[in-house]
Amino acid sequence: MNNQQVECGCDEIPQSLLSTDEALDILLDSVKVTSKTSYLELDDALNGILAIDLCSSINVPDFDNSAMDGYAINLETDKVNIPGGLTFDITDRIAAGSIGNNLSPGCAARIFTGAPIPKGANTVIMQEECSLTDNDSKIEIYRPISLKENIRPKGNDIEIGDLILRSGIKLMPQDIALAASVGINKLEVRGRLKVGVFFTGDELVDPGIEVKPGQIYNSNRYALVALLNNLGCEIINLGNIEDSLDSTCKALETLMHKCDIIMTTGGVSVGEEDHVKPAVELLGELSLWRIKMKPGKPLAFGKVGNAAFIGLPGNPVSAIVTFLLFARPFIKKMQGYSDILNNTIKVESNFDWNISKSRREFIRVRIDNSTIPPKVEKYPKQGSDVLSSIVWADGLAEIPERSTFSSGEILDFYPFIEMTS
């Protein structure tokens, strides 16, 4: 059980109207990295968040070795850079994994890629550049030869003490390979966060059931579970909860001692049917933020028991966008990622923005990568209920508050490929 404390900063900012940057700063300041870690076998460590810096205790390679199939030669140093035409007696054969004998001056050892360079040898010539003579007992080399050709020196890749992997990376196949190459067989990764979710709204019905008049399908439930799965969270899903204070309190009580985070969508406005806010206030503490952004406000943040609480808006586009902009960096910080902020790229609008607005907007846009910078076009319907806009789009373009511009404006673009896949 994780017992980290999350401070919601509730006292300082009740019912606040915040900019997106302020809201993100407060969220991120409040979060502590999970203290849960476990050691995983390399085959199980993919996508884990590395919990410590890893240094190598060996050199890789640990010995000088051949970069080619060819012949290791003891080239007498007074013959360096001679124009070629030398002959060497073949006195040894060294395969990868075996150690050769001392090589005398004027002698050659048949050698294979990765095999240790024998004592006495000071260069390796690839087999294609050697001709066998005298019943294959000698080689002749016609081109000029230099010292240290085709020799991979000890420590060429990694030296003892080198920092090979940094704490906070999400382990990719190549990272796991590098750990293996220095002899590490287990990796300490951060424990998976437990996230409890439930959904409020008596209008909600799960797909597969026929909707009656006035009902809608619960899409947020599936969006949230998929978004959390993408982040590697363990999910406790209580599904749809009746829109009453009692049911909402019961759901919170079920989750508050089991989870690192509790997340909900809907019910955080101040309408009579919005019971999430009073329930969280009853059992813990809560700030209801009206964030100066579109889509999005309101966002609720607090804590219940040991769990952080994040209440996303009910409208499907708002729920996904606020998850991506706020909950995702929050979760990544708690998971121990070193790189928690969403990446943006610069794009050029192919549309005008004629009306200055006090809220920052995150509009659904499609990107055309055939130009530099890439151009974006916006979906015609930008309502927070229009879920198809987010499927049509490749990402979000950020429209700064109080701005107007003509086509050609440079904007920040948040690619879905990074945030939702």
Task: Please say which residue, 198 or 414, places its beta carbon nearer to ligand AMP.
Answer: 198
Mask: binding to ligand AMP, 267-286, rule CB under 6 A, as x and -?
A: x-x-----------------
Q: Which is nearer to Mg ion, 199 or 337 (CB)?
A: 199
Contacts of 135 (CB under 8 A, 6+ apart): none
203 binds ligand AMP (CB under 6 A): yes
The residue range among 111-119, 132-140, 307-315, 344-352 that interacts with ligand AMP, by the rule CB under 6 A, is 307-315
Quote the least distance from Cβ 258 to Mg ion, whole Å: 25
CA distance 319 to 297: 10
298 is an interface residue for Mg ion by CB under 5 A: no
Nearest CB to ligand AMP, comparing residues 157 and 203: 203
- Determine, following the binding rule CB under 6 A, whether residue 198 of this chain makes contact with ligand AMP: no
Among 100, 116, 266, 311, binds ligand AMP (CB under 6 A): 266
User: Which residues in the 316-375 window bind ligand AMP by CB under 6 A?
Assistant: 316
The answer to whether 311 contacts ligand AMP (rule: CB under 6 A) is: no
- State phi, psi for 36 to the nearest 5 degrees: -75, 130
DSSP state letter for 84: S
Q: Site for Mg ion (CB under 5 A): which residue of 100, 168, 201, 284?
A: 201
Q: Which residues contact 350 (CB under 8 A, 6 or more apart)?
A: 368, 375, 376, 377, 407
Distance CA 371, CA 391 (A): 23
Strands 299-304 and 307-312: antiparallel
**Tokens linked to 174:** 């190549």
By the 10 Å C-beta count (0-12 exposed, 13-18 middle, 19+ buried), 289 is classed as buried
Looking at 37-45, 267-275, 374-382, 404-412, which segment touches Mg ion (CB under 5 A)? Answer: 267-275
Q: Which of 116, 120, 196, 314 binds ligand AMP (CB under 6 A)?
A: 314
DSSP per position, 334-378: HHT-S--SPP-EEEEESS-B-S--SSEEEEEEEEETTSSS-EEEE
H and E: helices and strands count for the chain? 9, 27
Among 91, 264, 265, 335, binds ligand AMP (CB under 6 A): 265
> H/E element holding 149?
none
269: number of Cβ within 10 Å: 17
- Which of these segments, 20-28, 125-133, 266-274, 409-417, binds ligand AMP (CB under 6 A)? 266-274
Q: Which two tokens stand for residue 30?
A: 């409040």
- Least CB distance to ligand AMP at residue 332 (A): 24
> Of ligand AMP, Mg ion, none, which one does residue 156 interact with (CB within 5 to 8 Å by kind)?
none
Q: Which one of Mg ion, ligand AMP, none is in contact with 315 (Cβ closer than 5 to 8 A by kind)?
A: ligand AMP
Nearer to ligand AMP, 206 or 418 (CB): 206
What is the 3-state composition of the chain as percent helix, strand, coil, each rounded to the nearest 5?
20, 30, 45
Site string for ligand AMP, 213-242 (x = CB under 6 A): ---x-xxxx---------------------
266 is a site residue for Mg ion (CB under 5 A): yes
CA distances from 200 to 248, 272, 311 (A): 8, 13, 11
Interacting residues toward Mg ion by CB under 5 A: 201, 266-267
Residues lying near ligand AMP in the complex (CB under 6 A)? 199, 201, 203-204, 216, 218-221, 265-267, 269, 313-316
